[in-house]
Each structure stands twice: as structure tokens, then as C-alpha cells.
């Protein structure tokens, strides 16, 4: 299903965004599109837009704490042209370009308290299925958190039990994709030390090693 920036399939989320637009008329406050090359060999899937991050800027992981770690890591491993997702005015950095990488979320709309309901994850799943269908064969897909992990499997028509979420794990899927798992790079996870920079970078080291085995080097 092709992405619709005016999607209202989830009434609770649509009504919540209406309220957010009234409170913050300067915010994007619509379903957030993916960012990056649609045919990139690496797709990163998060949970949902953050209130003052993607919901404000209109770009995934841009403007909140999670985006700082994600984009600095993408830059370090050659997938991004700039480590800073924001410009000096606090808006999405228009100069930033992703190389061989695309970023999206399992749920495209801001959920109340950052917690989408299971039915909303399922309702948004066809958009993720469309993203996955456009990837090259043997692509790498990174799930940031267990919800994203399950959403990816569902979007591929696979049962969740085929691959169990575990930080640092990787799973060879029947369609040829390689699924990687990481704890979400949220402020909560990093402040509680459930995830640190070294752990996050270790996952990307595995991904780049895999992509290199396919002849892809983002730094070239």
C-alpha cells in the first residue's frame, strides 16, 4: 500500500494528531514518510514518530534524543553525509543525505504516550510491506525494538515465531533478507544503560560486514 500522508485509518491516532496541530500549529503533525533511497540495501525500522522529533520535523528520528545516536552512527559507518540531523534553526537538515540506507517506522503517526496499540501497528503494516517489497534481494533490515521486529515479520507474511527478537541477533529470512535486531536507541534505553553506543555500533559493524560481503560499501 503506497504511503498516504493524509492517512486516517487509525481514528485514535488521527484525532490525537488533530489535537497536536491545535497545540503546536508549527509542527508537521501528520503521518511521517520514510527517509532515504527506496531501494537501499539497508532499511532501518523504528517504532513510531516522537512528539518533538519526527512529529515536529516530518523526518524519521529527527529532532529527538534517539535521532542523535542513530544519525551519528549512520555517519560513522558511512551511511549518512552528516552526523547532525538538525540544522542551526532546529529544522531537519536539508543537506543531510543517506547513502545506501532508508529509515522508517512501524507506525507512521505519533501515538499518545509513544505507545501505539497492537491494532494500530497492524493497520499500518501494509505501508511497511510496501517498503520491504521495494528493497533489493538479500537486503539487510534492522529492527529497533521488538515491536518493529514483529512488524517486519508480519509485513513479510512470516510468523513471529520464525525469529525471536534479541539485541545483537541476526536472522536469515526465507525471502533472502537478513534481519538484525537492536534495542531501540531511545533516551530511556540509553539512560538506563540497556543500550550504549558500543552496543549499537556493534550491530552496525555486523551489518556493514554483511553488506560488504555482497559487494556494497556505503563509503564509496
Pairing of strands 140-144, 42-46: parallel
- Binned at pLDDT 50, 70 and 90, residue 19 comes out as very high
Query: Kindly report the CA angle at 176 between 42 and 47, in degrees rounded to 5?
Result: 45
Note whether residue 6 is domain-resident.
Answer: no
- Kindly report the average pLDDT of the chain as a whole number: 95
Give strand pairing partners of 171. Answer: 179
Name the β-bridge partners of 172.
Answer: 178
Residue 50's domain comprises: 11-213
d(C-alpha 37, C-alpha 43), whole Å = 9
Q: What is the pLDDT of residues 72-85, one digit of tens each?
A: 999 999 999 999 99
Give Cα separations from 208 to 67, 77, 100, 205, 211 (angstroms). 20, 8, 11, 5, 5
65-76 and 197-213 are packed helices; what angle lies between their axes, rounded to 10 degrees?
A: 40
Taking only the tens place, the pLDDT of each residue in 135-173 is 999 999 999 999 999 999 999 999 988 999 999 999 999
Is residue 21 assigned to a domain? yes
Residue 185 lies in a domain: yes
Residue 220 belongs to some domain of the structure: no
Does any domain span residue 71? Answer: yes
Q: How far apart are CA 19 and CA 5, in angstroms?
A: 17
The Cβ of residue 161 has, within 10 Å, a number of other Cβ atoms equal to 7
Tell me the CATH number at 173. 3.40.470.10
User: Which residue did the predictor score with more confidence, 216 or 220?
Assistant: 216
Across 112-125, average pLDDT: 96
Residue 187 covered by a domain: yes
Task: Supply the pTM of this predicted model.
Answer: 0.96
Our count of domains for the chain comes to 1
- Let me know if residue 4 belongs to a domain: no
Cα–Cα distance for residue pair 158/154, rounded to 1 Å: 5
Residue 204 maps to a domain: yes
Task: Tell me if 102 sits within 8 A of 34, measured CB to CB.
Answer: yes
Amino acid at each position: 500500500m503506497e504511503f498516504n500522508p493524509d492517512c486516517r485509518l487509525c481514528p485514535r491516532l488521527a484525532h490525537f494528531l488533530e489535537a497536536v496541530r491545535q497545540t503546536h500549529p508549527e509542527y508537521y503533525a501528520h503521518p511521517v514518510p520514510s527517509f532515504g533511497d527506496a531501494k537501499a540495501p539497508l532499511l532501518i525500522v523504528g517504532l513510531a514518530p516522537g512528539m518533538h522529533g519526527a512529529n515536529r520535523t516530518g523526518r524519521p528520528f529527527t529532532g529527538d534524543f534517539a535521532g542523535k545516536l542513530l544519525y551519528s552512527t549512520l555517519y560513522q559507518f558511512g551511511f549518512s553525509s552528516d552526523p547532525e540531523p538538525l540544522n542551526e534553526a532546529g529544522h531537519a537538515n536539508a543537506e543531510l543525505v543517506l547513502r545506501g540506507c532508508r529509515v522508517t517506522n512501524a507506525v507512521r503517526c505519533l501515538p499518545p504516550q509513544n505507545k501505539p496499540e497492537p491494532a494500530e501497528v497492524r493497520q499500518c503494516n501494509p505501508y511497511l510491506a510496501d517498503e520491504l517489497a521495494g528493497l533489493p534481494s538479500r537486503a539487510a533490515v534492522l529492527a529497533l525494538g521488538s515491536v518493529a521486529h514483529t512488524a517486519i515479520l508480519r509485513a513479510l507474511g512470516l510468523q513471529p515465531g520464525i525469529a525471536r527478537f534479541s539485541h545483537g541477533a541476526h536472522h536469515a529470512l526465507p525471502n533472502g533478507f537478513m534481519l538484525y535486531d537492536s534495542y531501540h536507541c531511545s533516551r530511556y534505553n540509553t539512560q538506563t544503560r540497556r543500550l550504549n553506543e558500543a552496543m549499537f555500533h556493534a550491530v552496525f559493524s555486523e551489518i556493514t560486514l554483511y553488506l560488504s560481503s555482497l559487494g556494497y560499501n556505503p563509503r564509496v
